[in-house]
Chains A and B, each alone.
Chain A
C-alpha cells in the first residue's frame, strides 16, 4: 500500500517543481476556464498538474497535494511525503476548496459608508488603510493592533515587522480551540514552552480525558493513522490482544465511540478520575521505579482519591477506574491525553504519563518546536487596551473573535471603541461585519505561506492557481503597507511574500546543506522540509506535587458543554455546503445545531425530541432543538460549536445557535438553566434506524474469539456460491474490488467529502435530505448495539457503505434500457446518457446506494469552477452512483498503456480510499492475489464478511469485522 502510495506520489510530485515556479505571483483576477492568456507549458488541457502545498484549515498543518486542471484546483489530497498527513486528509481539508470558490468571498475592497459597505478601488482602499495607520502611529506607540489566526512563521514575521513599521507590537494570534491549559501544564510539570508530540501507535493502552483526538483535538489526521495502528491486534505475552482505549468525558464523541469504554463524567470531574487512576497505580506499585519521582509526595497527592470515594463523588463506577488503572499500569507503554481546559487535569495527566515512564516513549518533547502562540492573557491584555481606547487601528486577519471570543471579554464593546477596524480575509464573517474597511486576501491555496505545526516539520505552502477573486496576498498587503509607512529596506527587506518565504527558507536550506536551488526544488516538490527530531530529555518537576491546583467543582445543577464540531471546528467550516450536508458522525444530523440531552434530564425538564430548548447562562441565552440520546451524561447539555452564524455567508447564516455566546470564560463549560419553549424544529438525518436489527451490515468479533480463531456464533458463514444457476463470467484484465476494515473506520466521513469533491455531487439542503434526496455516493452506516447486546459489541458500529459492484448485480437486469450494466473489469457501471429514470434499479438495490437526480443540480458561482472535468455532471431525472472513480481507473490504465507496462498495484485509488485518514479502505485487483487489497483479505480471514451475503448478489466490497473487547474486562 504505502509502496504504491510513494510511487504514485512520485508521479504526481514530479510534475510539481517547474509548475510551482510557473505560477504567476499576482495577475488580475481571471475566471476563465484557462486563466492564462498564453498557457505556460504546464497547462496541457485535459492533463492534471499536481502541486504540493499545506492545509490551513486547522493548526494541525497537514501537507496537501492539489490537483489542478486547466489552471483550476479541483481536488485536494494528502501529501504522501508529509509526516503528518501521509497522503490522507480529513473532511475539513477536502472542503477547503469550497472556501477558495466560495460564492460569499469578498470580491473586492470595501469601505463602510453611510449605507453599509461600498466597493472601493484598491488604491482608495489602501490609501485609507495606510492613512489611518499613519495617523495612529503618529499618535504614539502601540496605537495599532493586529489579531489573526495562526499564520505560520513567515507571515507572522511579516505581520510583526509591519506592526514595527507603525511603532507597535500589539500582535496577537487568536485560536479559540487552542489548547492553552496544556501549555500551562507543560510549563508547570516539565518546564516546556511547547506541546508534546504523541505516539499513540506505540502505546498498548490509552486513556483520553476529554481529548477528542479523532475529530478536533491536536492533529486528527495523524491520530487517525496512529489509532488505527493502536487498534490492530498484536501478540503480547504470546497472546493476541487488542490495545485498550478508554474515554473519560461528559459526551460520547466520535472518539469515545471508537474506544472500548466511555466513562461518562460530569464536566470537571475528569481530574478527579485521573488522580484516582493514579491512586490505583501507586497502590498497585505500577509506578515505574526509574522515573525518579518523589513517591511519598505522589502518595500524598492521590491519597484522597480512592476509587471508591471518587466513584461515590463523581458517579463513575470504581470498576471502571480500576480497569483504567490496570490496563494503564500493566501495559509496557501507555498514553493519557487531556483535552479539557482544566489545568488540574492536565497536571494529573502529565504525572500519569511521567510516573509510568511514558514521557519520552509515547509523549515526546522535541527541540526546535514552533514559537508558542499568544496566551489568553495576551488576548485579554489587547482587549483591555482596546476597551480603554488605547488602540486607534485594529487589523483583524482571521480568527473571527467577534463570533467566538469569551463573552466576559466584552469584545464587541472593545472593538467599538477602536477608531478604525480593518478586516483582511476571504469570506466576510461576524468580525468583518463590524469593520470599517474590508480587504480581500488570497486563500492559502492562492499564495505563498509556510507552517510549522511542530518540531521537525516545516510545511511549504505554494500557490497552486491564479486567484479567483480580485484579492491580494495578506503578506504582500502588509509589506506594501509597511513600506508606505516608511519602513527602511534593512528593516523590511522584501517586496512580497514570495521573497519573504524564500528568504526565510534560506537558513533552513543552509542547515540542510547542498545548494539552495536544489533544496528549494526539493522542498517545493515535497511540500516542505521534514527532519527527524531528537527527543528532549525532560523530567517531571517535583514542585508539581505541591503546586497542584485543586480541580474546580463542576457546576451544580445543569451544565452546558460546548463540543467542538468535527466539521465546523470553531465555526469556520459552517459556510461550506459540503460540511453542512455531510452528517455529523455520531448524531448523523445535518444543516442545523442541536442540544444533546440525556433521556432522564429530558424527562425532568419536560423536553421532547426536536422540542426547542432555551439555554440561559450568566453570559447569554440561545435556543436549540433537543436531541434526546443516551450518549450524554445526565445533567449535561452538549451543544456542538460552529453554528449560529449571523453574517458568514448564505450556507451558514441562521442555522442553529452560537454556543460560544453562552460561555463567559475561556473554558467550554458553564452552569445553565434550561426550559422548553414549546416550539418544535425537526432535526434531520439521512439515516432512519440506529439499530441494524441483526442484519449484519456492520459485523463485529470479540478479540477473544479472534484469538481463539473462532467466528462469533451469530454470524455463521454462508456456504460460498450456494445456488449458482449460470457459470460466473471471467474478467480477463482486471477485476476491481475493495476491502474495508470496519475496525479502522471511525466514521469521520473524510471519504464522503472526498467523494463530493471528486464526483461533482451536489448538495440538496435540509428539506431534501429529510425526504431522502441526499446525493452522497458513499455514506457512513452508523448503528448502535441494542441495550441487551451492549456488553458484546462496540459502543458504535460504523462502516462506509458504497456501491458493492456486485457480480450478480440486482440493479442491472431490471433496467429496461441497459443504463446499468457490467464492465469487463467487474465494475457495475451507470450510463447517465442512457438512463430514462425508471428508478427500478434503486428499488432492487439491497444496499440502497443509488442516488436519483430529483432536480437539476446547481452550483452557486463560482463553486462550479471546482467541478471535476473528468466526471460528467448529471442532469435531472437520471440515476447515479459510485463508479469506483472510473475516471481514475482510466487515467491509470492510460498511463500504463503509454508507458507500456501493467497497471501497478495501488496506482488506482478512488477518492474515498485516498482520503481515508485511518486507511480503512484498500482498493485493488481481485485477479492479483499479491495486491495489497487481496493481501488484506487473506491476512484477516476470520474477520472477512460480505454485507447481506445471504442474498448472494456477489458484492465486490469485502468488509473486515470490527473488533471489540467484551465489556467488564480489562
Chain B
C-alpha cells in the first residue's frame, strides 16, 4: 500500500477540498438541464405506460402461465442488488476504518438510496391490483386482518422498507456537517434550504460527541441489514419449491451477486462523474483500483456459486432438477445463460491486471458488461426456472411487450435523474470525511505508520 499512499493527494488543505467540492455545486448550465430533461421525458414515458397497464390490466404485458414473473421482478432484484454496494462501502468499510472509502462513499450511498427507491416501485408495478399494494403492510383495520408473516413477500416488504429507512437515516446523518458547511457560503433559496437540512449544525464538541456515536451504531446496524436484505430477496425464490429456485445456496450467492453488481454500478457512475465534474484529484486511480478489486473478488464468488448450483443439480440426480438446468444451458433461453457467464465470470478476470484496474475507459466498459450480465442472471433464474416447471404440459416461454421494456427503460432514467439532481445540489463528496482522512494520514505519516492505510 505504500505505493497507494503515494497516489493520495496530501497537498490539499481543508480550504482546497471545500473549494473543489463547492465548485461542483455552482448553478448548473444548459447542457445539464438538457440531460435532466431527457431523463425526465423517458421517466414520464415509463409512467404513462404504467398508467395504461393499471387501466387495462396486466394483459398489456407479455406474461402468461407459467412465466408469471419476468422483467418486473428481474428489475426489482437487479435494483435491490445495485443498492447493496452503497451500504457496504459506507457502513462495512467504515467499521473496518478503510480510508479509501471517504472519497466515494457519499456517491455510493446516494446511489443506494435511489436504487432502493427504484427497486421499491417494481413489486407494486407487477401487482395485478396495484391499488391494494398497502395490504402487504400491517395497518390498523376493523377486521384486524394483517399480512401473512410466513410469506417471503411480506419479509420482502419489511426488509426493503427497513433497508430504505436505515440507509436514508445513515445518509442523512452523514450529510448534516457537509450541508452545514455549504450553508455558510450559499445564498438565496439554497441558503434557506441548506439551513433547514443542516438542522442548525455547528460542529460543537457536544454535537460531534453524539453524532459520532450515532454514526458508529448506525453503521453497526446497517452491516447485518445489508446481508439480511438480499438474503430475504433470495428467499423469494429459495422458499419456493420450483426446481432452479429451491436452493440453500441462494442467500450468500445473491448477496455476493448484489455487491458485485452494486460496486460495478458505482464505478459506472463514478468514472463519468469524476470526468464531467473534474474530481480527478479527489477520486483518484487509487479509489478505482480498490473498487475494481472488490468487483474481481465478488465475480469469483459468483462464478463459484454458478458451479456449485450446477454441481448440486448433478449430484442430486433428480431428473426434474437436471432437466431444469439442462434447459437453462441449452434451452430456448440458453443464450442468456451464456451471455451471463461471459459478462460475470470471464470478462471481469481482466481485472487481474493492475493496468486495467487503474485505467478508466476499460474499467468503465467492464462494469457495463457486469451490469448486463447481472441483469440476465436474475432473469435466467426467475423466468427461466418458471418456464421449465414440474408439468411438462405447462411449459412455455415468454416474449416481452413494449410496456415491459418501456417501464424498464423508464426506471433507469428515473434512477439516473435522481442521481444527477443530487450530484449537483448536494455535496456528492463528503468534505468532512476527506478532511478527517487527510488529518489522520498526515499524523500517520509523521508517526511513520502509513502502512496502516
Contacts and interface: CB of A to CB of B under 8 A. Distances in A.
Given A817-B136, A837-B127, A839-B128, A851 B242 contact: no
Given A695-B392, A781-B393, A852-B65, A817 B135 contact: yes
B67 interface: yes
B319 A694 contact: yes
Interface in B410-433: none
Interface in A743-782: 768, 771-774, 779, 781-782
B57 interface: yes
A839 B56 CA distance: 17
B152 A843 contact: no
Contacts of A774: 65
B145 interface: yes
Contacts of B240: 810, 814, 840, 843-844
Contacts of B36: none
A773 B391 contact: no
Interface string A850-866: 01111110000000000
Interface string A579-601: 00000000000000000000000
Contact of B395 (A689, A697, A781): A689
Contacts of A31: none
B59 interface: yes
B148 A772 contact: no
A810 B135 contact: no
A878 interface: yes
Given A848-B389, A877-B129, A854 B64 contact: yes
A692 interface: yes
Interface SS of chain A: loop
B157 interface: yes
Contact of A848 (B57, B62, B133, B390): B390
A772 B128 contact: no
A176 B365 CA distance: 71
A816 B151 contact: yes
A586 to B, nearest CB: 14
A815 B155 CA distance: 11
B320 A695 contact: yes
A836 B127 contact: yes
B153 to A, nearest CB: 4
A853 B68 CA distance: 12
Contact of A689 (B58, B67, B392): B392
A782 B398 CA distance: 22
Nearest to A688: B395
B69 interface: yes
A22 interface: no
Contacts of A779: 393
A840 B240 CA distance: 9
Contacts of B320: 695
B294 interface: no
A818 interface: yes
Contacts of B64: 768, 771-773, 854
Give the most central of A810, A836, A842, A846: most B CB within 10 Å.
A836
A835 B129 contact: yes
B315 interface: no
B393 A782 contact: yes
B319 A851 contact: no
Given A687-B393, A782-B393, A851-B65, A844 B242 contact: yes
Interface in A255-302: none
Nearest to A689: B392
A772 B66 contact: yes
Contacts of A817: 135-136, 147-148
Of B65, B126, B147, B242, which is in contact with the most chain A CB atoms at under 10 Å from its CB? B65
Contacts of B152: 814, 840
A1 to B, nearest CB: 29
A691 interface: yes
B239 interface: yes
B241 A853 contact: no
B177 to A, nearest CB: 40
Interface residues on A, range: 35 or more
Contacts of B132: 836
| Most A C-beta atoms less than 10 A away, residue of B128, B389, B393 | B393
A836 B157 CA distance: 14
Contacts of A843: 66, 68-69, 240, 242, 386
Interface in B38-82: 56-59, 62-69
A930 B126 CA distance: 48
B323 interface: yes
B157 to A, nearest CB: 7
A730 interface: no
Contacts of B398: 771
B128 A835 contact: yes
Contacts of B69: 839-840, 843
Contact of A846 (B68, B133, B241): B241
B394 interface: yes
A813 B235 CA distance: 13
B68 A815 contact: no
A783 interface: yes
B446 interface: no
B135 to A, nearest CB: 5
B128 A816 contact: no
A843 B70 CA distance: 11
A720 B135 CA distance: 38
A847 interface: yes
A949 to B, nearest CB: 12
Among A768, A847, A852, A877, the one with the most B-chain Cβ atoms within 10 Å of its Cβ is: A877
Contact of A773 (B65, B126, B390): B65
Given A854-B57, A876-B57, A816 B392 contact: no
Contact of B67 (A772, A783, A834, A856): A772
A801 B394 CA distance: 11
Nearest to B132: A836
Contacts of B394: 687-688, 772, 848
Contacts of A815: 148, 151, 153
Contacts of B151: 813-816, 840
Nearest to A875: B129
B154 interface: yes
26 contacts: A689-B393, A695-B319, A695-B392, A781-B393, A783-B393, A814-B151, A815-B151, A816-B147, A816-B151, A817-B135, A817-B148, A818-B147, A818-B148, A836-B129, A836-B136, A837-B58, A838-B127, A838-B153, A842-B65, A842-B68, A847-B391, A852-B128, A877-B58, A877-B128, A877-B129, A879-B128
Given A838-B123, A879-B128, 8 more contacts: A695-B392, A768-B64, A814-B151, A814-B239, A834-B135, A846-B389, A847-B390, A853-B57
8 A-B pairs with the lowest CB-CB distances in the bound complex, closest first: A837-B128, A877-B128, A772-B64, A876-B57, A689-B392, A772-B65, A848-B394, A839-B68
Interface of B: 56-59, 62-69, 123, 126-129, 132-133, 135-136, 145, 147-148, 150-154, 157, 236, 239-242, 319-320, 323, 386, 389-396, 398-399
